[in-house]
Amino acid sequence: MGSIEIGIMAHNEAPTLGALLSRVASYADASRICIVSSGSTDGTDKIARSWARKDSRIQLIVEEKRRGKARAINRFLSSIGPQTDAVVLISGDVVPAQGAIDRLLEPLENSDVRMTGARPCPINPTQGWVNRIVHFQWTLLDHIARHRPKLGEMIAFRPPVDPLDPDTVVDEAALEAQLTQHKGTLAYVPEAIVHNQGPQTWGDLVAQRERIWIGHRRLLRRTGYRVSTHRLRDMLYPAVKFLWQNPTWTAVAMVAAAIEIYSRCKGTVRHQFLGELPTVWPILTSAKPPAPTL
């Protein structure tokens, strides 16, 4: 594959940005690595500038105000070169495993594949209800995505793409909808692992699930596109299959299901009846990882 540009969307990602850039900069085929830092106040910009001085491929775009991830992505997309063959988008709070970017890009050699997605793996400990729910959620998502791809955290696609709806809450799903609208398929790449941290408090867990539900609900209404996890009944068989093989997770799965139903009901009220749209969502502080040692 020819020219490859990597975009990193960041807001106060000082704990992980150095490790992320170290891993991304080791990918020799990247022609440009662009960090879009939106309203960062914790040293994120300083770290990015330090890396830019060491590696001419690395650039920093500073947005003085945080206006939502979709707007940051649009800012990056507007700057990519006309000869770019592939684009990789990475959230600033994750760290790809060694070789993950190579694996992520491989399916794009097939002209039918328009977009690929990595496998997020939480670094949460396995003790405590919330942490165990996070592990269950991501394991279940992996099982579902292997059959009906749902992509996030780190994705790759071939341009051109239209600018995202600036108010979307689910940027990866919005790209899924756009890139598969007329022709093309999605490819989930479980071998392309990215490490992230999920919520570690009940409040942050509900807030995350609520925001994602609002985003998917709005996307369906605007475009007709339904992500593979939108309907609870589509998640039932993979969940039962997993629990049949791992019965010790049954209690965790039941609590996770209750949280999901509660979050969706609450999100529906907020979006449909109160007209709320969390384009710029409150930071989930418990989901911000420490400096990784991956």
Average pLDDT of 64-90?
91
Residue 1 is predicted with a pLDDT of 60
Q: How many CB atoms lie within 10 A of CB 290?
A: 9
CATH architecture designation of domain 4-287: Alpha-Beta Complex (3.90)
Find the radius of gyration of the CA atoms of the chain. 18
Predicted confidence at residue 205, as pLDDT, reads: 96
Tell me the domain boundaries of the chain. Answer: 4-287
Residue from 283, 267, 86, 277 nearest 201 by CA: 283
Average confidence (pLDDT) over 172-179: 92
Q: Can you give the pLDDT at residue 30?
A: 85
Of 30, 151, 158, nearest to 91 by C-alpha is 151
Give the tens place of pLDDT for each residue, 93-136. 899 999 999 999 999 999 899 999 999 999 999 999 999 999 99
151-165 per-position pLDDT tens digit: 989 999 998 899 999
Q: What angle do CA 196, 202, 205 make, to 5 degrees?
A: 40
Predicted confidence (pLDDT) at residue 283 exceeds the cutoff of 90:
no
pLDDT of 293 reads 44
Strands 86-91 and 30-38: what pairing?
A: unpaired
> Using CA atoms, how far apart are residues 186 and 188, in angstroms rounded to an integer?
7
Query: Two tokens at 29?
Result: 């085929």
- Name 81's Cβ contacts closer than 8 Å, sequence gap at least 6: 3, 5, 31, 32
What whole-number distance in Å separates Cα of residue 274 and Cα of residue 292? 39
Ramachandran angles phi, psi of 254, nearest 5°: -65, -40
Strands 185-196 and 95-96: antiparallel
Please say if the pLDDT value at position 27 is more than 50: yes
* Helix %, strand %, coil % of the chain (to 5): 45, 20, 35
Say how far residue 29 (Cα) sits from the centre of its chain: 22
Whether the per-residue pLDDT at 34 is higher than 80: the answer is yes
| pTM, entire model | 0.90
